[in-house]
Amino acid sequence: MIEVFDEGLHSGVNLALKVNKVLYRNKTEHQDLMIFENNRFGRVMALDGAIQITENDEFIYHEMFAHVPILAHGAVKRVLIIGGGDGAAARQVLQHDGIDLTLVDLDRTVIDLSREYFPTVHGGAFDDPRMTIVVADGCMFVKETDETWDVIIIDSTDPEGPGEVLYTQEFYTDCKSCLTEGGIITTQNGVPFVQADELKNSYDRLGTLFTDVSFFMAGIPSYVGGPLAFGWATNNPALRTIAVETLAERFEAAGITTEYYTPEIHKAAFVLPVYVQKILTGE
């Protein structure tokens, strides 16, 4: 057994996973990267001791991260992923026809090793001509670009280490300026039960920039402490309250394959439990 969560953000809670076999362990230029086999989760990648992805439950996270904003928007042409160097969110985005995708990850080694060790997770996304890969700090990228996107997916590590900048007011402000009108930002916002501050900080920061800020949730077995929250920010409030029938039509028309996402789950995911609502209102 090894501890894959240390103190800090998840203070007081640890997830222990059996390491059946270590496939890779080394320091990249930016992070400590470990890939190992676990008999329940399949191949697992951890960065700085925190699980990033597991082969067997990643579909829940990445289907929700990609299909919720794309199907709610309904006319997405360009998607930007910040982080997501494992290629899994990219694979889900690229299930949709006619989308031009840019992926910006800080760590070239994460991309290279994901390509080698997680073929079913990226599903060939790295070689898809519709995707442009940029190795750069996401914060600097959105500050300097003059391009715009309909959906920005911030698939980052937690707000510690290199991912910390991806939760700042400055970064969110720069993301807003490269979003098309009515565009949507979604974020990886941690598990509210153990990362309440992270949720509240993003809610308050995004709330100064967008008229509609909320979260949608999904239970993902490898995230310890309960369901994970994805942040949602847009200036078009109608996108969050879209009818399930409309989502069902778009889902059907998109012809995508899912193992978790359904239009009904999409709608239900925005219904927040009382304890989460209280975190947001500061009660």
Extract the annotated binding site: 31, 62, 86, 105, 137-138, 155-158, 162
Q: Which stretch binds ligand SAM (CB under 6 A): 1-9, 67-75, 153-161, 179-187?
A: 153-161
Yes or no: say if 214 and 270 are a contact pair by the CB < 8 Å rule. Answer: yes
Q: Is 155 a catalytic residue?
A: yes
Kindly tell me which residue out of 57, 63, 158, 198 binds ligand SAM, with binding defined by CB under 6 A.
158
CA dist 224 and 219 (Å) reads 10
Kindly tell me which residue out of 38, 52, 95, 102 binds ligand SAM, with binding defined by CB under 6 A.
52
Residues 58-97: b if buried by 16+ CB within 10 A, e if exposed:
bbbbbbbbbbbbbbbbeebebbbbbbbbbbbbbbbbbbbe
Q: Is 82 in the site for ligand SAM (CB under 6 A)?
A: yes
Strand-pair partners of 27 = 32
Q: Which stretch binds ligand SAM (CB under 6 A): 8-16, 71-79, 151-159, 253-261?
A: 151-159
Q: Which stretch binds ligand SAM (CB under 6 A): 2-10, 17-25, 66-74, 150-158?
A: 150-158
Q: Is 105 in the site for ligand SAM (CB under 6 A)?
A: yes
219 vs 237, which CB is nearer to ligand SAM? 219
Q: How many CB atoms lie within 10 A of CB 98?
A: 8
Contacts 24+ apart (CB under 8 A), 250-256: 250/71, 250/74, 251/67, 251/71, 254/71, 254/95, 254/96, 254/97, 256/67, 256/95, 256/96
Q: Is 84 in the site for ligand SAM (CB under 6 A)?
A: yes
Residues that bind ligand SAM (CB under 6 A): 52-53, 82-86, 104-107, 110, 137-139, 155-158, 162-163, 165-166, 188
Task: List active site positions.
Answer: 155
